[in-house]
Amino acid sequence: MKAAVLPEFGSALRVEDVADPDIGTGEVLVDVVAAPVLSYTGEVLSGARRYLLPTPVVPGAGAIGRVRAVGPDATRLQPGDWVYCDPTVRSRDGGNIPDITLQGASARGEGGQKLQRYFRDGTFAEQVRIPTENAAAIGPIKPEDAGKWCAIGTLLIAYGGLLAMNFQPGETLLVSGATGNFGSATAALALAMGARRVVAAGRNTKVLNDLRRRFGDRLVPVTLSGDAAADTEAMKRTAGVPIDAVQDFLPPEASAGVARAAIMTLRQGGRAVLMGGVGMLGGEDLALPYPWIMRNLITVRGQWMYDAEAISGLLGLIRSGLIDLGLWTVSEFPLANANEAVAHAADNAGAFKMTVLKP
């Protein structure tokens, strides 16, 4: 089969013939129809993001495809079924604290790297081998719509954070980093889940205004100034009601002070979920006042990716029409143009923009 191979960090992808994957018990072989190319893929491939990813490797996290073959223990999946290839691979012997690898992208800890040595190659290829439980049936779709269905990957990460904070209908959510791909997806999901109000915070006024245009009065934008104290007050004032929860998707280049300013808007008993990249490239720590956290009953937690159960809930939101995949503008590239796709993704980052490879 054809695949885009990263020989080493800092090299261009090479599209070449590689061996077809073999599958065994507990595995599924999928023909990749569309694979998302995240805006920061180039930073991963260059090594700038310092992701744990052994080379040479076929990168690519997640895909929409059709089942080619299943292992002997599969009872429901059939060849031809449309599936989402979930890149979040969990160790089966980890109990409540499984080791995790992001197939074709990164790994967490020593156990995750051990898992990665087997589920290594990702979806920038004509076929991918994944664990049976990572082939999530999505039901019939039109082949030409496979690209926009790749938005599942972005939505799942955002949805995982909302589930982690136990977000409820009628609550007010502040999205820190709302103008990015994950932040804007969080806004769309929270509104679909019945948010009273979504406060969209960021520095790009044009994108913030576009979010308001898309979602109406229940979304209120706040353009940040860089003055932490002033920004905290501006977000609270703009919300107009107590802020129940904060979801943070700030990128690695953002300062901890921006994240702190958002968290400090929370009402008593509020929750914050951190899912971005602040501090990944160095810089100050996220320093929050101990007395304020304690006396105001604040919960701050991290969330990496999502629990597997999130997939069925998200598919329900999509199939019900509460989430419209037509929000995304999709740019498609053939596998032969993988390097062009990576560059295009970097140059066209932001809310509701998506680049995909079509092997």
- Looking at the fold, whether 198 and 86 belong to one and the same domain comes out as no
Q: Tokens at residue 144, please?
A: 């030409």
- Looking at the fold, whether 289 and 168 belong to one and the same domain comes out as yes
Spatial distance between the Cα atoms of 149 and 82, rounded to a whole number of angstroms: 11
What integer pLDDT is reported at residue 148 of this predicted model? 97
Does 128 reside within a domain? Answer: yes
What integer pLDDT is reported at residue 29 of this predicted model? 98
Q: Print the domain residue range for 223.
A: 155-302
Read off the pTM: 0.94
Does 284 reside within a domain? Answer: yes
- Looking at the fold, whether 225 and 143 belong to one and the same domain comes out as no
- Looking at the fold, whether 123 and 198 belong to one and the same domain comes out as no
- Looking at the fold, whether 124 and 160 belong to one and the same domain comes out as no
Q: Tokens at residue 161, please?
A: 């954070």
Does 312 reside within a domain? Answer: no
Does 111 reside within a domain? Answer: yes
Does 316 reside within a domain? Answer: no
Spatial distance between the Cα atoms of 41 and 52, rounded to a whole number of angstroms: 14
What integer pLDDT is reported at residue 46 of this predicted model? 95
What integer pLDDT is reported at residue 283 of this predicted model? 85
- Looking at the fold, whether 182 and 235 belong to one and the same domain comes out as yes
Sign of CA dihedral 102, 104, 106, 112: positive
Spatial distance between the Cα atoms of 23 and 176, rounded to a whole number of angstroms: 42
Domains held by the chain: number: 2
- Looking at the fold, whether 293 and 339 belong to one and the same domain comes out as no
pLDDT tens for 3-50 read 999 999 999 999 999 999 999 999 999 999 999 999 999 999 999 888
Q: Which of 302, 318, 342 is the last residue before a domain boundary?
A: 302
Backbone angles phi, psi at 330, to 5 degrees: -110, 130
- Looking at the fold, whether 75 and 31 belong to one and the same domain comes out as yes
Residuewise pLDDT in 10s, the chain (359 residues): 999 999 999 999 999 999 999 999 999 999 999 999 999 999 999 998 888 899 999 999 999 999 999 999 999 999 999 999 999 999 999 888 999 999 999 998 999 999 999 999 999 999 999 999 999 999 999 999 999 999 999 999 999 999 999 999 999 999 999 999 999 999 999 999 999 999 999 999 999 999 999 999 999 999 999 999 999 999 999 999 999 999 999 999 999 999 999 999 999 999 999 999 999 888 889 999 999 999 999 999 999 999 999 999 999 999 999 999 999 999 999 999 999 999 999 999 989 999 999 99
In contact, 116 and 132? CB cutoff 8 Å:
no
- Looking at the fold, whether 82 and 219 belong to one and the same domain comes out as no
- Looking at the fold, whether 143 and 172 belong to one and the same domain comes out as no
Give the closest residue to 202 by CA, choosing from 180, 181, 177, 225: 177
- Looking at the fold, whether 245 and 130 belong to one and the same domain comes out as no
- Looking at the fold, whether 229 and 273 belong to one and the same domain comes out as yes
What CATH number is given to the structural domain containing 86? 3.90.180.10
What integer pLDDT is reported at residue 249 of this predicted model? 97
What integer pLDDT is reported at residue 108 of this predicted model? 87
Does 286 reside within a domain? Answer: yes
Does 201 reside within a domain? Answer: yes
Does 86 reside within a domain? Answer: yes
What integer pLDDT is reported at residue 8 of this predicted model? 96
Q: Tokens at residue 195, please?
A: 């948010």
Spatial distance between the Cα atoms of 337 and 314, rounded to a whole number of angstroms: 31
Spatial distance between the Cα atoms of 43 and 83, rounded to a whole number of angstroms: 28
What integer pLDDT is reported at residue 95 of this predicted model? 86
Cα first-last separation, the chain: 10
What CATH number is given to the structural domain containing 281? 3.40.50.720
